Structures are given as structure tokens and as C-alpha cells.
């Protein structure tokens, strides 16, 4: 009996304030109780985040310089052209073309415009279509404390939404061709960006966006971010999670991904899977009756929906489960 009491005490300590010993392992994490959590940097390397670290409040949402917007097209697939808010000349000097689809990518906490997600998704989209790719670089805030980034994420999202609205109003474009995508905390920013435009983007994709401090958060990504909102869950989930988007995909149960040995790997797998579907469109989800079926990877509904991909006219509703392979293209 004494041994059981000691074990319970140790579990409580780990769930509360103790620093986790294994880099990238978040099996200890309990929302609202744990102090420390591992999050990936822009290259998927684990960094330890203290959720009790105070917000420093050094980001000014009124300053457009705190976000940068990098344009990539087939004419400049590797060298970014910076478009500056309220500077129309920066558009005319770029390769932006109003008739092309417009893809917007938002990196996660501790990332930047050069992060792996941006390289993977930009190259995937440009391989299959002639598009305008806008990479949002919000590194100044993303490199501050996590709580500061959480508190300011809605402002970052509104700034992104206002920028895309200005871009389309100034240089042309069609909201039916607009697709916002964000990873982790960047997924929450993408959701706020979509809402700032009145939900006009044709598609919004959240790549494992339910990161710490966002459960039951009124500013979290939801169905009002765009006309079709899709969520791909690969690690941060809860058994009682409601459906977040119009369609929520749970590959391999949405927690531990094949080929991954850490939580960070499973979390980052969301954008690897998405990049693969852009190129191949081969991952198909089967409809689930509820989230428990999805997280147990035992969905057997008749409905099927392709996960991810680049199609702008995509639609669907509900929970979807599927099994993937361990390695690219999964």
C-alpha cells in the first residue's frame, strides 16, 4: 500500500511541476496541471517550454514590421520576395499574379520563415500547381516566451488576415482560391486570420493545432475560420475533444505516429503527411461515428474523404480515421 502511495505521488509530481527527463516526450503532460512541455523548433528539434513563464508583452500588434510576408512562385521557388503591408510598390515589384491560387503558410512556435514546414509545403505546392505562396514569418513573437506567443497569437492572426485582405484588394485575387495553413500554434494563428477576413478563405487547414493552453480557448481555430476547415491530428488530442473543423482527421489514432519515438516527431508528422497528400492525394480517411472511434483507429463508416491535398473545392464533415505507413510518402 505504501508503494502505491509513493507511485501516485510521483505521478502527481511529474504531471505538475517536475521537468520531464526524456527530450521530446510529452507522455507526462496534463492540460492545466503540467508546468513543462516539449515543443518543436522550426526543424522539429525538441525545446523545453515553461508554461508558467510570464508573458513579456513586447510584441506590438499595431506594428506590421513584426510580421513579414514572403512570396514564392514558380518564377522564384527558392528566393523569397518580401511584400510589405501598405506598400503597393512591393507587390508590383514581385511575381504575384492575381489569377493564381493563393496559399498562406504559418509556422509554429520557435520557428521562422525558413522552417521545415515552409520548405516542404512550398515545394509540394509548386510541384503540382502554379501558385502564389505566402510564407508568414512571425519569428519575433515566436521566439519569445510561449505564454507571450499564446496571448498574442490572435493579434498575429488578425494581422495576417488584414494583410491578405489588403493584398487582394490592392492587386486582385479571388477568395475562392485562398487556402490558409498553419502548424501547431501557427494553426491557431491561421484560424484567427481566417476569422479576421470574415471566414472568406475557401480552405483553412490546421496541422495538429491543439497545442498547450488552447483547450477551451475562445480564440481557438474553428469552423468559422473558412468555408471548409480541416484539422489533421497527429499528437495533441484529448479523449473528449469535440470536432474542431468541418472535418477532423485522426491518422493512426491521432497520437503516436508510426516511425516516431517521441511526441515531437508525432506532432511534426502532421505537416509531413500534409505535404505528401499535396503531391499524391493518396491518403483516404474512413468516417467515424465519434471521436473515440477516431482515436482508437477503428472507424468503419461508409463515408470516405481524402485527407489533405491541394483541391480548392473540397468539402466534407465529421471525424475520419486512417492508417499510414512509417516513411514518406506514408
Distance CA 327, CA 330 (A): 5
Is the four-CA dihedral 301, 225, 178, 136 of positive or negative sign? negative
Distance CA 145, CA 139 (A): 12
| pLDDT of residue 65 exceeding 90 | no
pLDDT at residue 8, rounded to an integer: 33
Q: Write out the E strands in the chain.
A: 36-40, 46-50, 68-73, 76-83, 102-106, 132-137, 178-183, 203-207, 229-232, 247-251, 284-288, 304-306, 318-322
Most confident of 4-13, 229-238, 274-283: 274-283
The count of C-alpha atoms lying within 13 angstroms of the C-alpha of 173, restricted to the half-sphere facing its C-beta, is 26
pLDDT at residue 32, rounded to an integer: 79
pLDDT at residue 262, rounded to an integer: 93
Q: What b/e string do you get for 147-185 counting C-beta neighbours within 10 Å, with b at 16 or more?
A: bbbbbbbbbbbbbbbbbbbbbbebbebebebbbbbbbbb
Assigned C-alpha cell, 207: 496541422
Distance CA 101, CA 178 (A): 6
**Which of 20-34, 149-163, 276-290 is least confident?**
20-34
Which residue carries 470536432 as its cell? Answer: 243
Smallest Cα–Cα separation from 155: which of 183, 203, 188? 188
More confident residue, 147 or 175: 175
Smallest Cα–Cα separation from 321: which of 267, 232, 250, 244? 250
Tell me the average pLDDT of the chain.
90
Longest dimension (CA), the chain: 74
pLDDT at residue 54, rounded to an integer: 82
Q: What is the dihedral of CA 30, 36, 38, 42, to 10 degrees?
A: 120
Average pLDDT, integer, range 254-262 = 94
pTM, whole model, 2 decimals?
Answer: 0.92
**263, 38 contact by CB (below 8 A):** yes
Average pLDDT, integer, range 236-241 = 57
Strand partners, 209: none
**161, 221 contact by CB (below 8 A):** no
**Which of 61-65, 134-138, 181-185, 278-282 is least confident?**
61-65
The percentage of the chain sitting over the pLDDT mark of 90, rounded to a whole number, equals 78
Distance CA 127, CA 18 (A): 46
| pLDDT of residue 240 exceeding 70 | no
| pLDDT of residue 241 exceeding 70 | no
Distance CA 223, CA 243 (A): 9
pLDDT band at 216 (very low <50, low <70, confident <90, very high): confident
More confident residue, 266 or 241: 266
pLDDT at residue 5, rounded to an integer: 31
pLDDT in tens, 33-48: 889 999 999 999 999 9
Give CB contacts under 8 A, 24+ apart, made by 310-315.
310/125, 310/128, 310/129, 310/179, 310/278, 310/281, 311/281, 312/101, 312/176, 312/177, 312/179, 312/202, 312/203, 313/202, 314/203, 314/228, 314/230, 315/228, 315/246
- The structural domains of the chain, ordered by start, are 16-236+262-271 (3.40.50.1820)
pLDDT band at 61 (very low <50, low <70, confident <90, very high): low
pLDDT band at 30 (very low <50, low <70, confident <90, very high): confident
Amino acid at each position: 500500500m505504501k508503494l502505491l502511495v509513493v507511485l501516485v505521488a510521483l505521478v502527481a509530481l511529474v504531471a505538475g511541476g517536475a521537468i520531464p527527463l526524456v527530450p521530446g516526450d510529452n507522455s507526462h503532460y496534463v492540460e492545466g496541471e503540467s508546468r513543462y512541455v516539449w515543443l518543436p523548433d522550426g526543424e522539429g528539434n525538441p525545446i523545453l517550454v515553461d508554461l508558467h513563464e510570464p508573458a513579456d508583452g513586447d510584441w506590438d500588434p499595431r506594428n506590421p514590421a513584426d510580421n513579414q510576408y514572403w512570396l514564392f512562385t514558380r518564377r522564384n521557388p527558392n528566393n523569397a520576395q518580401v511584400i510589405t503591408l501598405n506598400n503597393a510598390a512591393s507587390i508590383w515589384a514581385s511575381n504575384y499574379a492575381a489569377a493564381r491560387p493563393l496559399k498562406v503558410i504559418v509556422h509554429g512556435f520557435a520557428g521562422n520563415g525558413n522552417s521545415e514546414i515552409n520548405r516542404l509545403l512550398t515545394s509540394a505546392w509548386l510541384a503540382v500547381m502554379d501558385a502564389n505562396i505566402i510564407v508568414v514569418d512571425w519569428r519575433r513573437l515566436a521566439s519569445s516566451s510561449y505564454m507571450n506567443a499564446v496571448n498574442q497569437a490572435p493579434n498575429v492572426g488578425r494581422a495576417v488576415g488584414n494583410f491578405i485582405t489588403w493584398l487582394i484588394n490592392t492587386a486582385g485575387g479571388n477568395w475562392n482560391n485562398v487556402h490558409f495553413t498553419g502548424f501547431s500554434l501557427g494553426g491557431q494563428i491561421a484560424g484567427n486570420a481566417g476569422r479576421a477576413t470574415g471566414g472568406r478563405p475557401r480552405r483553412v487547414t490546421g496541422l495538429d493545432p491543439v497545442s498547450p493552453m488552447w483547450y477551451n480557448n475562445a480564440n481557438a481555430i474553428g469552423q468559422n475560420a473558412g468555408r471548409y476547415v480541416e484539422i489533421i491530428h497527429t499528437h495533441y488530442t484529448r479523449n473528449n475533444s469535440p470536432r474542431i473543423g468541418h472535418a477532423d482527421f485522426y491518422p493512426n489514432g491521432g497520437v503516436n505516429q508510426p516511425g516516431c519515438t517521441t511526441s515531437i516527431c508525432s506532432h511534426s508528422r502532421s505537416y509531413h503527411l500534409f505535404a505528401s497528400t499535396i503531391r499524391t492525394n493518396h491518403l483516404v480517411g474512413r468516417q467515424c461515428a465519434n471521436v473515440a472511434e477516431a482515436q482508437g483507429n477503428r472507424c468503419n463508416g461508409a463515408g470516405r474523404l481524402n485527407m489533405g491535398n491541394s483541391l480548392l473545392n473540397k468539402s466534407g464533415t465529421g471525424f475520419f480515421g486512417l492508417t499510414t505507413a512509417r516513411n514518406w510518402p506514408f
